[in-house]
A and B are shown apart, each in its own frame.
Chain A
Amino acid sequence: MLVSIYRYNPDTDKKPVMQDIEVSIPAGKDLMVLDVLELAKQKDPSVTYRRSCREGVCGSDGMNINGRNGLACITPISEAVKPGQKLVLRPLPGLPVIRDLVVDLSIFYKQFEKIKPYLINDKPAPAIERLQSPEDRAKLDGLYECILCACCSTNCPSFWWNPDKFIGPAGLLQAYRFLADSRDTATAERLADLDDPFSVFRCRGIMNCVAVCPKGLNPTRAIGHIRSMLIQQGT
């Protein structure tokens, strides 16, 4: 199988190039894209990418696979490539490239920091723990599972255009995770921080984030809930 990999070292290269590497896939096996990348790295050890858990938990190996963002470790090549096509691997779009498939996620984490991703509760701490009813706990399902792989935010044109101002789908999913948490008491402050023309309202609802989320989450729905909360508070 032919694998085409984006190669770029900003310190030494004038511009990026696509390098084709031929790898042999064991007959009858449907490897994951990460396995193919490992085979390519055996041919050329200078190919650089992030990886860790190889089971879709750590979110390290988010990349653009044949035009679609995804996690290399849980994307089978049968799903990524049609028979006879080559596998094309590029870094997550819209972020500065550090080297090859490794991007600088600083601005992504900065947006995540902005939403204060931790429980804020100004009531005295109970002796053991803050209890939550099963119904309130269920409200966090579909929100807490985000692994911050950045596949969604880097597939969002609004984030490409204003990565310093638009929180992005990943950050907003987490923003709603804390807005929806019955144990958090900073709802009004959190909403006030989001009520500007960029942080939430740059979302155009095109749902690229939903289409690519490797965990099957729905940031667009979370953003809709944030808008509803802003309307309830602001009107």
Chain B
Amino acid sequence: MVTNVTNLGRSGLFDWIIQRFSAVILAAYTLCLLGSFVAHPDMDYLQWRSLFDSSPFRFFSLVTVLALCVHAWIGMWTISTDYLTSLQLGTKATFIRLVFQAGCALLTVVYLLWGIQIFWGS
């Protein structure tokens, strides 16, 4: 077994299932948004606002932002461990990979907090 400390859940199976589960949430949210656009072809700002003011949709949006962050982290972590390895980058690989992962983690947290502020802020 390959031990690793920077992936999401310590287990390959956990990450694999979470990535697929979060993808289903993202797909469902996209379909809901598309559905509301189709149902209201002349949607104005007030209708748009009332959609995002309803508690169920705000909750769904929050869950989607969380799913997006988790999905993005697993994906970016996988990309970094595929391409930023010592085979490609030599001895500096670990440092470069850690910097890249730290940047991704920071961006993910910023997007999460920003999303919460947009959907739940005053």
A→B interface (CB under 8 Å): 158, 160-163, 165, 192-202, 227, 230-231, 234-235
Does B17 have its Cβ within 8 Å of any Cβ on chain A?
yes
Does B87 have its Cβ within 8 Å of any Cβ on chain A?
yes
A165 in contact with B16 given A158-B82, A196-B11, A234-B11 (CB within 8 Å): no
Apart from A194-B1, A198-B12, A201-B12, 14 more pairs, CB < 8 Å: A158-B82, A161-B82, A162-B81, A192-B1, A194-B12, A195-B11, A195-B12, A196-B1, A196-B4, A196-B11, A197-B12, A199-B12, A202-B82, A231-B13
Report whether over half of chain A's contact residues are helix, strand or loop; otherwise say mixed.
loop
Q: B82–A197 contact, CB under 8 A?
A: no
CA–CA, A147 and B83, complex, Å:
30
Say how far A121's CB is from chain B's closest CB, in angstroms: 22
- Interface flags, B1-26, vs A, CB<8A=1, else 0: 11110010001111111000000000
CA–CA, A66 and B4, complex, Å:
38
CA–CA, A192 and B13, complex, Å:
11
Does B85 have its Cβ within 8 Å of any Cβ on chain A?
yes
Return the chain A residue nearest B8 by Cβ.
Answer: A197
A198 in contact with B13 given A161-B85, A162-B85 (CB within 8 Å): no
Say how far B104's CB is from chain A's closest CB, in angstroms: 16
Give me 20 A-to-B residue pairs in the complex whose CB atoms sit less than 8 angstroms apart, sorted by A's number.
A161-B83, A162-B81, A162-B85, A193-B1, A195-B1, A196-B2, A196-B4, A196-B11, A196-B12, A197-B4, A197-B12, A198-B4, A199-B2, A200-B12, A202-B82, A227-B13, A227-B16, A230-B12, A231-B13, A234-B14
Report whether over half of chain B's contact residues are helix, strand or loop; otherwise say mixed.
helix
A160 neighbours in B (Cβ, 8 Å): 87
Count how many chain B residues have C-beta atoms less than 8 Å from C-beta atoms of the other chain.
18
B15 neighbours in A (Cβ, 8 Å): 197, 201
With beta carbons under 8 angstroms apart, the residue of B3, B13, B83, B87 that contacts A201 is B13
Q: B13–A230 contact, CB under 8 A?
A: yes
CA–CA, A202 and B81, complex, Å:
10
Say how far B20's CB is from chain A's closest CB, in angstroms: 11
Q: B16–A199 contact, CB under 8 A?
A: no
Interfacial residues of chain B within 42-86, with CB under 8 A of chain A in the complex: 78, 81-83, 85
A193 neighbours in B (Cβ, 8 Å): 1
A235 neighbours in B (Cβ, 8 Å): 17
A231 in contact with B17 given A195-B11, A196-B12 (CB within 8 Å): yes
Return the chain A residue nearest B84 by Cβ.
Answer: A161
Return the chain A residue nearest B74 by Cβ.
Answer: A197
Q: A161–B2 contact, CB under 8 A?
A: no
CA–CA, A14 and B3, complex, Å:
37
B85 neighbours in A (Cβ, 8 Å): 161-162
A230 neighbours in B (Cβ, 8 Å): 12-13
Output the residue of B11, B13, B83 with the most chain A CB within 10 A: B13
Say how far A190's CB is from chain B's closest CB, in angstroms: 11
Return the chain B residue nearest A158 by Cβ.
Answer: B82
Q: B2–A195 contact, CB under 8 A?
A: no
Say how far A72's CB is from chain B's closest CB, in angstroms: 27
A234 neighbours in B (Cβ, 8 Å): 11, 13-14
